[in-house]
Structure 1
Amino acid sequence: MLRTRHQPKEISATLRQVDALTSHGQSVADAIRAVGVPEVTYYRWRREFDGLQSDQVKRPGQLQAENARLRRIVSDLKLDKLILAEVAQGIY
């Protein structure tokens, strides 16, 4: 089964569209079906992106990338520190 990645703008537009349909009296389940997104996906998106504008939706992905980069830096620095401590003790 082909998996498609939805862009942040598409996600926020879909959430707004479901909100608009529910405000016109349609049930949430019917609105989700009308948009064409699985219910599980809708609720996951709602949990992660609800209330965010389309430019803010990109932010969590950027934060995760920044977090990964900082973790690599910290692990490299810890390794350097351990090597220097061993050299200072005269082990090598």
Structure 2
Amino acid sequence: MKKRFSEEQIIGFLREAEAGMPIKDLCRRHGFSEASYYLWRSKFGGMSVPDAKRLKDLEAENTRLKKLLAEQVFQNALIKEALQKNGERTGASCAGARVGRRWRQRALRPGSDRHERQCAVLSPARGPQR
């Protein structure tokens, strides 16, 4: 919903009421409800125009930072979930399908120590295959 009155106008209304204008007349004259007046008074009471602008800027920044934090928390949760799934799959594949004779022969070939290191990292309890 678009706001009809800016912070400067609202503070002006509050100043008029402080100067002694009856609230009902003020509301009728400018076209807003008494509930809006009391809400504005609780939010902007005692503020000057620069203070109100600063409050609005801080609220916008706070909202932006909360969104960024929520996105980061969500991304971290996705990464943790993906790492857990990857860890289970990788460990099972190393302990299962690659433990056969062909994998051992490949690991013994010259220049293939990469396979040995990979399996040693993934399943350190087994030790190197020979």
Using the size of structure 2 for normalisation, the TM-score is 0.53
> How many pairs are equivalent?
85
- Give the stretch that moved more between structures: 82-91 or 44-53: 82-91
Corresponding position of 1:38:
33
Structure 1 ranges of 4+ moved more than 6 A: none
In 1, are the aligned partners of 2:17 and 2:23 still within 8 Å (CA)?
no
- Within the candidate set 69, 78, 82, 2:73 is matched to 78
What is the 5 A alignment of 1:1-92?
5-21=4-20, 28-29=22-23, 32=26, 35-36=29-30, 37-89=32-84, 90=86
Using the size of structure 1 for normalisation, the TM-score is 0.70
Q: What 5-or-longer segments of structure 2 have no aligned partner? A: 90-130
Secondary structure of the equivalent of 1:32? helix
Aligned-residue identity in percent: 26
Corresponding position of 2:122:
none
Distance 1:82 1:14 in 2: 48
Judged with a 3 Å threshold, the aligned counterparts in structure 2 of structure 1 residues 62 and 18 are, in CA distance, closer, same or farther, namely same
Shift of 1:46: 0.6
Higher RCO (CA 8 Å, separation ≥ 6 residues): 1
Q: 1:34-84: per-residue Cα shift (whole Å, max 9, x none)? A: 753432221111111000001111233222211221111112111221222
CA RMSD of aligned residues (A): 2.5
Distance 1:33 1:5 in 2: 14
Q: What 5-or-longer segments of structure 1 have no aligned partner? A: 23-27
